[in-house]
Chains A and B, each alone.
Chain A
Amino acid sequence: MNPEDLAAIWVTSQLALVTTLLLFVIGTPLAWWLATTKRWYKPPLEALTALPLVLPPTVLGFYLLLLLSPNSAIGGFFFELTGVRLTFSFTGLVLASVIYSLPFMVQPLQVAFERVQEQCLEDAYALGVRKITAVFTAVFPQCRRGFLTAAVLTFAHTVGEFGVVLMIGGNIPGETRVISIAIYEHVETISYADAHLLAIALLIFSFLVLLAVFTINRQLPLRAY
């Protein structure tokens, strides 16, 4: 495998890891809020969270490009502040991926929280335990499956990104060129052997990840220690 493809694998892994970690921090409270609130604006927010599931990545990428470019208000402000461009940069890719993969983190968590949360919290209150402690010691441990599923889906989905990355990140080797774009490039330049190598690697990786999730979920009993 040539060094540029290795660099693409490295960029992809970094991107997926950072995105998953960030979404873990952002997605958990958001999913909790969606699972527990009864306010009228819950449905619109749920719809907004799920939008990346149905929108063509080019639509999302297009608006992100407009929003994040140094000529725009947000992108310009960020550039003034940090000297980092949000378009055609790794930082920009992370930001886009966080938005794009949001539903893959939030939805499994929300389902898990909804199943466990209410009675479990009340049982803990009745034992004299305050909410924040109860959430971390009683609710979250019972939602392990949900956390695992959410993290793996987010990671795998980020690895498989193409459209948004192309729109907002471009194709800078070692910076924004991820595996899917490298494959696209190999096909464009008719170097099918290189494309094969990356494609089969991605295929096997994705299959193994999903296999691991389903296996662990089977073995991790719901009522268990």
Chain B
Amino acid sequence: MLHIRIETIGEFRVFVDHEFPKSITAVFGPSGSGKSTMLRAITGMEPSRGFIRFDGNEWLNSDSNVFIRPHQRPIGYVRQNAQLFPHLTVQDNLAYPIKYSKRQGENITFDGVVEDFELSSLLSRRTNQVSGGETQRIILARMLLSQPKLLLLDEPLTGLDLQRKAEILPFLESLQTKYHIPTLYVSHAVDEVTALCPHTIVLAAGKVQATGQTPEVLERRDLAELLGGSEPSSIISAKVVGHDSRYHLTKLEVEDRIWSVPMHLPLTLGETTTLRIRARDVSLAKVEPEAISVRNILRGEIVAIDDSESGPSVNCFIQTGQTRIQAQITRASLDELSLRIDDTVFALVKSVTLG
């Protein structure tokens, strides 16, 4: 899909050699790590050396002097703090790429995008008559109407409060579910990443620190600091199988087990969602506990123990079926229970966050 090996030429050096999968990849890292610079280099707006290949096309090859100009690369790029053109109405902003871009595309139409992004009531407004969340929706819609084959989104939810974010997230999800355009998504919020991105690349100081499946990358304790101080946690996907209105619980199916989590009504039956379980919310028991208030208890084997950090705690990785859960326990408990790899344990999950 997208394969880059680039080194930026500007004052801030960013070196990235990576092949991105054909889905949505989170670009993660502390501020100043080179996330935005990497995106700009892919657009061609940041001068760089090396090569960029996308779907068999070469956009950059400094050895053979290939440089495709930014407007000729089929990229939908939303920069940080992106803005609408203030001299145009919402409608004219949306029509701008249709009118003035020569890019070709078949399945993305003005009417379709206006409907998907629920913009029909805003079309005649001026850009100073729409809210921040609406502006963000219009920017995403306008980007789609430029017929992109690759999306580069630089913190598209920054500056919005929690409620606005929750309003935009479904639209961001629809970029994948409906339009199937591969995406690089710069973010520093773990929740956004777990909800949207199956893959993650972590940058720091202009270099790639880690890549892989998002759950595995987020589990890594050595990256915890880079991931914005986020705690080690496990990401698992689950299917919604029911709501229990009496106890205000939502029932989720993980493999063949049913989990109960606090009721979350936006989820519809049959929908697949992600659960994030912080390692410190998981306790371990050697025998199956009885008469206990914790509702989600899983039986599994210890497959790894990470005691690389010198603090009071260690992280145990428990495999149960296809699912792997991380538990943070004290070093004292580890020794007292004499837990070892391959031991069968019961993981007690005290709380989860829905993706």
Interface residues of A, Cβ cutoff 8 Å to B: 119-120, 122-131, 133-134, 137-138, 141-142, 144, 222-225
Contacts and interface: CB of A to CB of B under 8 A. Distances in A.
Given A122-B45, A128-B102, A128-B147, A224 B85 contact: no
A128 B45 contact: no
B85 A138 contact: yes
B145 to A, nearest CB: 8
Interface residues of B, number: 34
B70 interface: yes
A119 B84 CA distance: 11
Contact of B70 (A119, A120, A125, A144): A125
A194 to B, nearest CB: 48
Given A225-B88, A225-B89, 8 more contacts: A120-B85, A125-B43, A126-B70, A128-B102, A129-B101, A130-B69, A133-B100, A142-B87
A126 B73 CA distance: 8
Contact of A128 (B74, B83, B128): B74
Contact of B75 (A126, A131, A138, A222): A126
A192 B258 CA distance: 103
Contacts of B45: 122, 125
A137 B98 CA distance: 13
Contacts of B103: 128
Contact of A127 (B86, B88, B89, B142): B142
B343 to A, nearest CB: 54
Contacts of A130: 69, 71, 102
20 contacts: A122-B45, A123-B79, A123-B85, A125-B69, A126-B71, A126-B78, A127-B71, A128-B72, A128-B103, A128-B146, A130-B69, A130-B71, A137-B96, A137-B99, A138-B87, A142-B86, A144-B87, A222-B86, A223-B86, A225-B87
B127 interface: yes
Pairs of residues from A and B, 6 with the lowest C-beta to C-beta distance, nearest first: A128-B101, A223-B86, A126-B77, A127-B97, A125-B70, A128-B103
Nearest to A126: B77
Contacts of B265: none
Contacts of A141: 87
Interface string B56-91: 000000000000011110111111001101111100
Contacts, number: 83
B143 interface: yes
Interface of B: 43, 45, 69-72, 74-79, 82-83, 85-89, 92, 96-97, 99-103, 126-128, 142-143, 146-147
B97 to A, nearest CB: 4
B126 A224 contact: yes
A129 B96 contact: yes
B89 to A, nearest CB: 5
Nearest to B104: A128
A129 B85 contact: no
A134 B76 CA distance: 16
Given A137-B100, A224-B126, A126 B86 contact: no
Contacts of A137: 96, 99-100
Contacts of B78: 126
A123 B82 contact: yes
B146 A119 contact: no
Contacts of B143: 126-127
Contacts of A124: 71, 96, 100
Given A223-B128, A224-B126, A127 B83 contact: no
B83 A119 contact: yes
A124 B87 CA distance: 14
A223 B103 CA distance: 28
Contacts of B96: 124, 127, 129, 137-138
A157 to B, nearest CB: 28
A224 B83 contact: no
B86 A224 contact: yes
A142 B83 CA distance: 13
Contact of B126 (A119, A126, A225): A225
Nearest to B44: A125
Contact of B97 (A129, A224, A225): A129
Contacts of A224: 86-87, 126, 128
Contact of B146 (A120, A122, A127, A142): A127
Contacts of B100: 124, 127, 129, 133-134, 137
Contacts of B75: 126
Contacts of A120: 85
Q: Which of the listed residues A122, A123, A138, A141 has the most CB atoms from chain B within 10 Å of its own CB?
A: A123
